[in-house]
Structure formats: C-alpha cells, structure tokens
C-alpha cells in the first residue's frame, strides 16, 4: 500500500502562486499514475491534473490549463502541483491520488488518496 500526504496549501490573493506537494511512503511512486483532484463546497470532485508513470505525459482540466503544472520526482517519491494566476474559483480542498492503472482524467476513481490540503484564494 502507498500512503499519500499533501502539503503546501494556504490562503492567498488572486493572481498569486502556490506549489502543492504530495509525499508518498510505503511504495515507490514510479509504479503509479498520479492525480490531483479538488473539491469545493457544494460541488462535485474534479480532476484537475494527471501525470503518467514516468512523467512524460500530462493532462489538465480546461479550467486550469495554462495556469497549473503537474510534475513528479520519482527519486524523491513526490508529486507537485504548481499553481499560478490563482483565481477565487480555485478555492477548494486539493487531494493527491494514485493508481497503478491509467484512467485519463480520473473517470475511474484512483485507489489511493491523501487527506487533502485547503487552498483559499481571495479576490
């Protein structure tokens, strides 16, 4: 089993940047596709970014494309989400997730999840 712990969330102003980190333990993440999801109050969970096993392929939700960048460092067992030009509508709890299988933009829920980190963007 792999355990995931997110960090880096906080409160920022619109236009600011944040970098979220997801540290894995128990397994090496090189065997996993990694995902970032978010969920805002009253809204359904949304997959915002995915990255393949080696990091060679990435996908983004239209709402964040061009502003967010997902990356991974398999040697450090960590995945990142660099968020720039943040908007109030980006406010949500952000979750890191992992699965051995590829399922694009999380249409099939990944098997492993972190507890989430809060991101709040004020106008």
pLDDT (tens digit, 9 = 90+) per residue, 24-50?
A: 999 999 999 999 999 999 999 999 999
Residue 1 has pLDDT above 90, yes or no: no
Whether residue 7 contacts residue 18, with contact meaning beta carbons closer than 8 Å, is answered with: no
Residue 108 has pLDDT above 90, yes or no: no
Residue 21 has pLDDT above 90, yes or no: yes
pLDDT category of residue 5 using cuts at 50, 70 and 90: very high
Residue 122: HSE in the Cβ half-sphere, 13 Å Cα cutoff: 4
* pLDDT the model gives residue 117: 98
**How many Å is the Cα radius of gyration of the chain?**
13
* pLDDT the model gives residue 83: 98
* pLDDT the model gives residue 78: 96
Q: Three-state SS for 74?
A: helix
Closest by CA position to 115, among listed 20, 13, 15: 20
Residue 42 to residues 61, 77, 92, 113, Cα–Cα distance (Å): 19, 33, 10, 20
Q: Summarize the confidence of residues 90-99 as an average pLDDT.
A: 97
């Amino acid at each position: 089993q792999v355990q995931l712990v997110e960090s880096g969330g906080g409160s920022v102003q619109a236009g600011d940047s944040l970098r979220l980190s997801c540290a894995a333990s128990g397994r090496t993440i090189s065997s996993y596709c990694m995902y970032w999801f978010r969920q805002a109050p009253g809204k359904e969970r949304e997959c915002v970014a995915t990255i393949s096993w080696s990091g060679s392929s990435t996908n983004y939700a239209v709402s964040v494309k061009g502003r967010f960048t997902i990356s991974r460092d398999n040697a450090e067992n960590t995945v990142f989400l660099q968020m720039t030009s943040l908007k109030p509508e980006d406010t949500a709890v952000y979750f890191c997730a992992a699965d051995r299988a590829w399922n694009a933009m999380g249409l099939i829920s990944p098997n492993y999840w972190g507890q989430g980190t809060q991101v709040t963007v004020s106008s």
